[in-house]
């Protein structure tokens, strides 16, 4: 993530906030006011970023090619990058007892249920199946979270399999990883292909490290290790991509056992309903739409519009064969 921030800074796409900023509402307000990458130098005593990948320009910086070529190049990917397991995560970052109170977790809006992790990539493994996906997670106390796991999606499916065997689902949550890892984790790929896809986007290879519970993760500023349990807790209200509140639901509880935090770690927060949320939720569909429509006619480009919250309304540019 730090290498990407440097590239964005070199491109003049970083807004530095040197003054003290509160995790309660203030950081969210600053993020909402710009599409630039916001670097908070003093977020309640911590360094943090928001709007990390909040525009097509930012994604083009991450990928290394022009904005106009993003969709057609992503449509060519076949999720075949090389994934290498390098060793134990504890060998490069010293583990500590989990303590969410030591992190600058944000409360974004007045009616939110509480402080939420919004950028965490949840890595899970069970029965030989691996998955990586992004979920919102409500802080319950220093080592428990309530996670919104959509029924039928891969993380929820793995949890059901583990619970059916009378076990908890081992997971690890990365915060502050390379934005292309996050982008790949937000993409509907075949089962277990998130990290091969991330490797492909990163140039062909990605290195993973093994947590104590066996889950493998890429390098990140912060890694939270634990298990999804059979316990449920109320989760919500929470602002969704349309800017409206999602209702309260019972959600699985995550019990954290360890945390790995780099020295002077940079926290990453995503504004709910903001430009980064919309890009990560919607843009991974554009290559899929491109490939589908290309089976009918010549496609020049695809864009999920801001008017449709980056998710609900799509424009497809084609090359006409006849008038």
Q: Cβ atoms within 10 A of the Cβ of 7, count? A: 15
Q: State the DSSP string of 161-228.
A: HHHHTT-PEEEEEEES--HHHHHHHTS--STT-HHHHHHHHTTSEEEEEE-TTS-EEE--SEEEEEEE
Catalytic residue positions?
240
Q: What is the pLDDT of residues 226-262, one digit of tens each?
A: 999 999 999 999 999 999 999 999 999 999 999 999 9
The beta-carbon contacts of 159-168 under 8 Å, at least 24 apart in sequence, are: 159/124, 159/228, 159/252, 161/126, 161/127, 162/126, 162/228, 163/230, 167/126, 168/227, 168/228, 168/229, 168/230, 168/255
| Ramachandran region, residue 34 (left: φ > 0; alpha: ψ -120 to 50; beta: rest) | beta
Q: What is the pLDDT of residues 86-139, one digit of tens each?
A: 999 999 999 999 999 999 999 999 999 999 999 999 999 999 999 999 999 999
State how far the Cα of 150 lies from the Cα of 226, in Å rounded to an integer: 19
Q: What is the pLDDT of residues 171-226, one digit of tens each?
A: 999 999 999 999 999 998 999 999 999 999 999 999 999 999 999 999 999 999 99
Whether the Cβ atoms of residue 298 and residue 315 lie closer than 8 Å to each other = no
Q: What is the pLDDT of residues 161-170, one digit of tens each?
A: 999 999 999 9
Taking the C-alpha atoms of 239, 25, 177 and 223 in order, what is their torsion angle to the nearest 10 degrees? -90
Task: Name the band, by pLDDT with cuts 50, 70 and 90, for residue 309.
Answer: confident
Task: Name the band, by pLDDT with cuts 50, 70 and 90, for residue 145.
Answer: very high
CA angle, residues 72, 133, 156, in degrees to nearest 5: 130
User: With 90 as the cut, is the pLDDT of residue 152 above it?
Assistant: no
Radius of gyration of the chain (CA): 19
Q: What is the pLDDT of residues 4-34, one digit of tens each?
A: 999 999 999 999 999 999 999 999 999 999 9
pTM here is 0.95
Residue of 168, 136, 131, 164 whose CA lies nearest to 149: 136
DSSP code, position 59? H
State how far the Cα of 105 lies from the Cα of 267, in Å rounded to an integer: 8
Q: What is the pLDDT of residues 40-91, one digit of tens each?
A: 999 999 999 999 999 999 999 999 999 999 999 999 999 999 999 999 999 9
Q: For residue 257, what are the CA distances in angstroms to 95, 100, 263?
A: 10, 11, 20
With b for 16 or more beta-carbon neighbours within 10 A and e for fewer, the 40-51 pattern comes to beebbebbbbbb
Q: What is the CATH number of domain 2-284?
A: 2.30.110.10
């Amino acid at each position: 993530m730090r290498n990407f921030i440097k590239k964005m800074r070199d491109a003049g796409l970083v807004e530095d906030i040197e003054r003290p900023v509160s995790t309660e509402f203030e950081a969210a307000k600053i993020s909402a006011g710009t599409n630039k990458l916001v670097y908070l130098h003093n977020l309640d005593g911590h360094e943090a970023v928001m709007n990390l990948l909040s525009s097509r320009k930012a994604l083009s910086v991450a990928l290394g090619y022009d904005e106009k070529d993003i969709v057609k190049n992503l449509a060519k990917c076949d999720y075949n990058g090389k994934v290498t397991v390098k060793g134990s995560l504890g060998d490069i970052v010293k583990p500590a007892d989990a303590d969410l109170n030591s992190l600058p977790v944000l409360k974004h809006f007045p009616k939110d249920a509480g402080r939420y992790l919004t950028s965490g990539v949840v890595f899970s493994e069970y029965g030989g199946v691996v998955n990586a996906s992004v979920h919102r997670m409500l802080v319950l106390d220093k080592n428990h979270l309530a996670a919104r796991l959509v029924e039928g999606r891969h993380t929820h499916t793995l949890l059901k399999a583990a619970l059916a065997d009378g076990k908890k689902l081992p997971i690890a949550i990365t915060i502050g990883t390379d934005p292309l890892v996050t982008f790949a984790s937000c993409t509907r790929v075949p089962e277990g292909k998130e990290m091969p896809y991330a490797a492909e986007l990163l140039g062909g290879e990605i290195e993973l490290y093994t947590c104590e519970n066996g889950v493998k993760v890429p390098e990140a500023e912060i890694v939270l290790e634990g298990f999804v349990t059979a316990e449920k807790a109320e989760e919500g209200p929470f602002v969704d991509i349309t800017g409206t509140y999602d209702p309260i639901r019972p959600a699985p509880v995550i019990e954290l056992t360890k945390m790995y935090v780099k020295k002077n770690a940079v926290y990453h927060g995503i504004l709910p309903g903001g430009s980064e949320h919309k890009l990560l939720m919607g843009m991974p569909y554009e290559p899929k739409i491109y490939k589908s429509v290309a089976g009918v006619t010549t496609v020049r480009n695809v864009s999920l519009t801001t008017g449709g919250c980056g998710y609900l309304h799509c424009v497809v540019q084609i090359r006409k064969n006849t008038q």
